[in-house]
A and B are shown apart, each in its own frame.
Chain A
C-alpha cells in the first residue's frame, strides 16, 4: 500500500489540484509547491520526479538531521582507541599518516603527538557498543541506534566539508539534501514547508552556518529550507502586525480575492488563481505554525525528558523538541545545526559543554519518537562534517588539548527509518586514523539515506544547464550493512 501511495503521489496531487480547481478554488498551493515547474510548463524533467522514482517501499517517510556543526571528535565519543592512551605523546607513525594533507593550522607542527581520550569508554546495551561517558543519555539508547565509525569525506575545512555533506559537492550552489527530498517527495502537510531548518549555537568554538547549506540550488526556490527562528516570528514575516487580528486578516483576504478574481476574469492568467491560493496557505500557516512552535503546552514528562532547556527558545533542546513536532506534523526534512564542536584547543572542556547541550535532548528525541510509534518511519541522523585528528594540536596535557580536522574516518550515528538498530558499522585501524573495514563516504551516505526514503539515488535527477544532476553526483553505493 505504501509503495502504491508513493508511486501514485504525483497523480494524486494532480487529481487533487485538478478536482479542486474544477470546484472553483484550486488546490494549486499544494500543486505548485510540489511540482511548481509543471504548472509553469517549462519543460522540467517530469520523468525524474516522483512518478518515475519509486524503486523500493520507503522505510522512512521523514528525516530529522541533527547536524553537529564544527565536527565533534570521534575519539571522545564513539571510536574507542585505547592504543592512543597507551602511546600518549608518541609521534603518529608516518606509515599511518600516509601523506594525508594537513590544514594550515597544523601544517607547521613538526611533531604529531598521539592523544588518548579524556573521557572513559564503556560498552552499552545488548550490542555492546563502546560509547564514552561524555554522552550518558545516548549511551542508554545504544540498542536503538546505528553507529557508523567509518564515515569519510574529501574536504578538510569546515565550509567545503559542510557544503559537501549537505549538498553532495564541496563548492557550488547545489541543492541540499532537504531540497532534494522536497523536490522528490513533496510535502505531507499543506500548511507547512517540506523542508525546515532550526539553528542553535553551543558554547564551544563556533564556525557559523550559511544559507547555501539549505539552498534549493538550481531547483525551484519552493524547495529552499525555511528557517524557523526562536524570535516571536517563528517564520519570517509570519505574524501580522500589532493592531491586526485574525478577523482583520480574513476580511482583507476576502476582499483581496474578489479583486484578484476580477483580474483573472479580465486577463485569463491561471497564475492569478495560484496566487490566491498562496495567500490562503499563508493564512493557514499563520495559525498552524504558532500552534506548533508553542512548546509551553507540552506535558511535563516530555519537558523532563528533553530537559529544562527545551523551554528556552533557540536552544538545541528546544529545537530537538520542535523538530519532533514538525516531523510529526508531516515536515519531510527537519534540519538542525548546532554550532560549537570545533575543538582545536581546550577540547575536554569544550566538548563537555557541548555534550551538556546535546546529549540529553538527542536521546530524548529518539525515545520520544519511539514512544509515539514514529521512529520506524522517521530517520534521525546525528553527526558532523568530518572527524578530528588522533594527535594533539596546541597544548598537550591530559585534560587540556586540541585536535585538528581529520577527513579519513569519523563517527556518526543514525536511528530509526529502516536503519539497523543496535549496530556498530565499520572499523578503523588501531590508531583510528584510517578505515580498516567497511568505509562509508559521503556519497554512500547520501545514497543510503535516499534508499531509506524509497528513492534510487541514481534516478533522483534534475536537468540543469545540460546535465542531469544528482545528490550523489556521479558515485555512491547503498550500504546494506546499515539497513534493518
Chain B
C-alpha cells in the first residue's frame, strides 16, 4: 500500500514537471512569479528585453527598427526622432514611457512585440518592467562581462558542509526551503566517483577495499587514487574532444582519413600531467608562437586544425579557406568564452555587443595560416599543410605519450602564421569574396579591451588576453563546464552562451568564488575537480523524494545528487571493463570495432581509403569507446544513439536522451552479448554456488550488492533460461558463438548460456548505465 501511495505522488509530480516547464517557457527566467522589492536589470529585466526586444531594438545597427535601441540607457531614454516629446523609457515614470504604452496596447497593430514575431510578454514580465521603470530604469553592465570578485562565503550548517562549495549550495537550498540529502551509500558513491573521474566502473577489489575502509579519509583516498589513475586523462579528454571537434576523417563528402590522433594523445597527456588550464589553452591556441616552441607545444596547436576540410574537386579554394577561418573563430568564441561569435559573421550580433567588425578583427588572428581551401582530392593527404612529422625517435624521447605503433612517421596538422601578414576585411553578408573595410586584430571591447601593445598582435597575444586576470569569462566558462561534468547541469545552464540570451547563473556567488579560487590557484584543474568531488554537495544521495519534485523538479538547487546516464563512450567502457575484457591501452590510431554491415559502404561516394569499413581484430576490439574511429559523414552508430557528438562542429553540451534505439543496442550489439558470454564463461569456471555467481556479476555491473528481492528475480530468470536451454540445446551454440573473443567449448552448456542471458539482462538494467 505504501508503495502505491508513493507512486501516486510521483505521478502527480510528473505532471507538475510539465506544468513547471510550460510556465517557465513562457515567462522570464527569473526565479518565481513574485515581484521583488528591488527589480534588478541583470537578473530581471535584461532577460526579457534581450529575448523579446533586442532582435529589432538592440546592438545590430543595420536591422534597428524605428531607430530605437533598448540595450543602452542612452538609446532607451532618448527622445524619438519623429516626436521629440516621446521617449521609450522615462526613468521613474512608467506612464510617460512609450514602452509601457506599447507593450500594454490593446490594439494589436500597436502592441509590442509585434504579432508576427510570435513573441509575447506575460503579465508578470510587464509588471516587472513597470516597477523597474518606476524605480529609475537603471541599466547595469552584463554580469558575465564584469570580472568576478571573490564573494563572501555564506553561513551554513557546520555539521553538513565539507568545503566552501557547500556553503553556497546550502544557502540557496535554505532560501528555497530545501535541505540537503543524506550522503549516498558507499557503493553508489564509489560508482559515481569512478565513472565521473575515469569513465570506468570500480573493480570488485576496489569495492571491497572501500567498503572495508572505515577511516574518515576513506573517500578522499579513493579520490586521490582516481585522480592519479591514467584513465582520468581519458575521461577529461573525452569532453574536450567534443569542444575541439576531433575526428579521424576530413568531413566533407568524400571524407578521407586524417591522422590527428597524436594530438588527441596529447590532450590525454595534458590532463594526466595536470597542465594548468592557462598552459592547456595557451599551447593549443598558440603553442607555435611561444619563443623556442618545443615540438609538444606545436603539436598542441592541432586544436585549431581539427575543423572539417573539403576534398571535393571543383570547389573554390578561397571559399573554403575562409570557411576554415570561420570555424576557428567561432570555435574560439564558444570554447573559451561561451559566446556565439558566429552570429556576427554576416551582421552585427542581435543580442550581444559583438559587431561584425569585431568578429572579423578576431577572425584576423586565425586568418594567417599558410593553407589552402582545397589541398587535394580524396586521400591526397592525411594532414594538409602546415603540418609536422613525428618520428619514432621523437616518440621514444620527447613525445613519449604518443602511442605510435609502427615505425613510419606520422603527420599531424598544426598551426603556423605566414611570414607575411594577410590583411583581413569585413566580409559583407559573410560572403568570402565580398571584401568590405579592412580590419586589424581585436576582440569585442565590452569583454575586456585588447591592446596589441600589451599582449602582442597574434594568437599568443590572444591567449595572454584570455588568461589576463581581468578577463571576466575564461575562468568562469571553464569552471562552469567542469561543474557540468559532475552535476549534469552548469551553474550557468547554457554552457555555450554567457551572452545576453544565455541563462543566468543559478548560484552566481558560487560561480564567481570557484572562478577566482581557480585562477588564484594557478588554474589547477585537478585541484578544482577534487574540490568538487569531495564536497558534501557532490556526495549526497541521488534519491528523489516527492518534495524534491514539487519544489525543485529540475534539481537546480542541488538538494540531491543527479542521476545521469553515462556518456556513449563510457557505455562501451563499462560493458567491456565489467566483463574484464577491456584493453586499457591509452592512445594511438583509432580503432574499428564490430559495426553493422554496410553502413560506410552505402553512404560512400565510392572513393578513398574509407570507402569500406575494415574491422579490427583481437585486442583492438576491446579498446575504450573514445578510441572508436570517427568517420564524420558516418559516425559510429552505437555512439550516436547514445548522444555522442558527430564532431561536425565545436560542441559543448551533448543531449541526454532515452530512446528505444538505445534499448536495441543494449540487447543486440555483439559487444554486449560477447561481454556477457565471456563473463559467463569465466564465472562458470569458478564453480561457485549460483547465489554467489549472480551476486558477483551483479556487483561487477551494477557496482553494488543485490538486494534479496533483486537476487530472487535474477535466480528466477536464470532458472527459466536454464530450463529453456535444457529443452532446446541447439540454441546454446547459436547464442554463444557471438564475438571473436576466445571461446571455451567445454562451457557450452545450459548453465553458462543461462548465466550469459542473465548477465546481459543485468547490462540492460536502467541503473547499470546510470551514475547514481
| A binding-site residues for B, Cβ under 8 Å | 14, 18, 21-22, 29, 32-33, 36-48, 52, 101, 103-105, 107, 156-159, 171-173, 199, 201, 206-212, 215, 220-222, 224, 226-227, 229-231, 233, 235-244, 248-249, 251-252, 255-256, 258-260, 262-263, 265-272, 274-276, 278-279, 281-282, 285-286, 314, 339, 404-405, 458-459, 461, 465-467
Contact = CB atoms under 8 A, between A and B. Distances in A.
Contacts of A201: 602, 606
Given A211-B603, A220-B655, A231 B598 contact: yes
B720 A242 contact: no
B603 A242 contact: no
Given A221-B643, A459-B118, A466-B494, A44 B25 contact: yes
Contacts of A242: 734-735, 737
A32 B732 CA distance: 37
Contacts of B3: 265
Given A101-B316, A229-B602, A39 B761 contact: no
Given A103-B316, A208-B603, A466-B340, A238 B668 contact: yes
A467 B271 CA distance: 33
A210 B668 contact: no
Interface of B: 3, 6, 10-11, 13-15, 17-18, 20-22, 24-26, 116, 118, 252-255, 310, 312-317, 323, 340, 343, 350-352, 374, 433, 493-494, 496-497, 499-503, 542-546, 549, 553-554, 563, 596-599, 602-606, 632-635, 637-638, 640-641, 643, 646, 648-649, 655-665, 667-670, 673, 707, 709-710, 713-714, 716-717, 720-721, 724, 731-738, 757, 760-761, 764-767, 772
Contacts of A229: 596, 598-599, 602
Contacts of B340: 465-467
Contacts of B316: 101, 103-104, 107, 156
Given A208-B633, A209-B633, 13 more contacts: A52-B118, A104-B314, A158-B312, A199-B602, A208-B254, A208-B603, A221-B640, A265-B3, A268-B549, A269-B563, A281-B660, A458-B118, A467-B340
B533 to A, nearest CB: 21
Contact of B673 (A241, A256, A275): A241
A270 B713 CA distance: 22
Contacts of B545: 268
Contacts of B597: 231
B11 A104 contact: no
A240 B351 contact: no
**Which 6 A-B residue pairings sit nearest by Cβ, starting from the closest?**
A466-B501, A208-B605, A243-B734, A243-B735, A210-B633, A282-B663
A240 B604 CA distance: 28
B4 to A, nearest CB: 10
8 contacts: A18-B11, A38-B18, A208-B253, A236-B599, A236-B661, A255-B761, A262-B713, A405-B314
B649 A172 contact: yes
Given A206-B606, A221-B655, A465-B496, A251 B717 contact: yes
Contacts of A208: 253-255, 603-606, 633
Which of A172, A256, A263, A465 counts the most chain B CB atoms within 10 A? A465
Contact of A104 (B26, B317, B343, B633): B317
Given A43-B25, A104-B374, A173-B648, A237 B315 contact: no
A278 B253 contact: no
A233 B772 contact: no
B120 to A, nearest CB: 8
A222 B553 contact: no
A416 B493 CA distance: 44
Which of B255, B323, B661 counts the most chain A CB atoms within 10 A? B661
Contact of A268 (B10, B596, B766): B10
Given A103-B315, A208-B255, A210-B634, A466 B655 contact: no
A267 B563 contact: yes
Contact of B735 (A47, A206, A244, A251): A244
Nearest to B698: A259
A404 B602 CA distance: 25
A340 to B, nearest CB: 10
A233 B20 contact: no
Contact of A255 (B496, B599, B662, B716): B716
Which of A38, A48, A210, A248 counts the most chain B CB atoms within 10 A? A210
B731 to A, nearest CB: 4
Contacts, number: 286
A103 B253 CA distance: 16
A393 B766 CA distance: 59
B662 A278 contact: yes
A237 B707 contact: no
Given A215-B646, A229-B596, A270-B10, A467 B501 contact: yes
Nearest to A339: B605
B344 to A, nearest CB: 12
A124 B700 CA distance: 70
B435 to A, nearest CB: 15
A263 B25 contact: no
Given A210-B634, A211-B646, A215-B646, A21 B664 contact: no
Contacts of A159: 252-253, 310, 312
A259 B713 contact: yes
Nearest to A158: B253
B542 to A, nearest CB: 7
Nearest to A276: B766
Contacts of A39: 17
Nearest to A101: B316
A173 B649 CA distance: 7
Contacts of A52: 118
B664 A236 contact: yes
Given A41-B554, A235-B664, A268-B543, A255 B713 contact: yes
Contact of B663 (A236, A279, A458): A279
Nearest to B647: A173
A204 to B, nearest CB: 11
Contact of A212 (B646, B761, B767): B646
Contacts of B317: 104
Contacts of A263: 765-767
Contacts of B735: 241-244
A23 to B, nearest CB: 10
Contact of A36 (B640, B657, B668, B734): B657
Contacts of A18: 11, 14-15
Contact of B633 (A173, A212, A239, A259): A212
A450 to B, nearest CB: 14
Nearest to B315: A157
Contacts of B713: 255, 258-259, 262
B704 to A, nearest CB: 11
Given A237-B661, A241-B738, A466-B497, A271 B649 contact: no
A444 to B, nearest CB: 18
Contact of B255 (A210, A238, A251): A210
Nearest to A265: B3
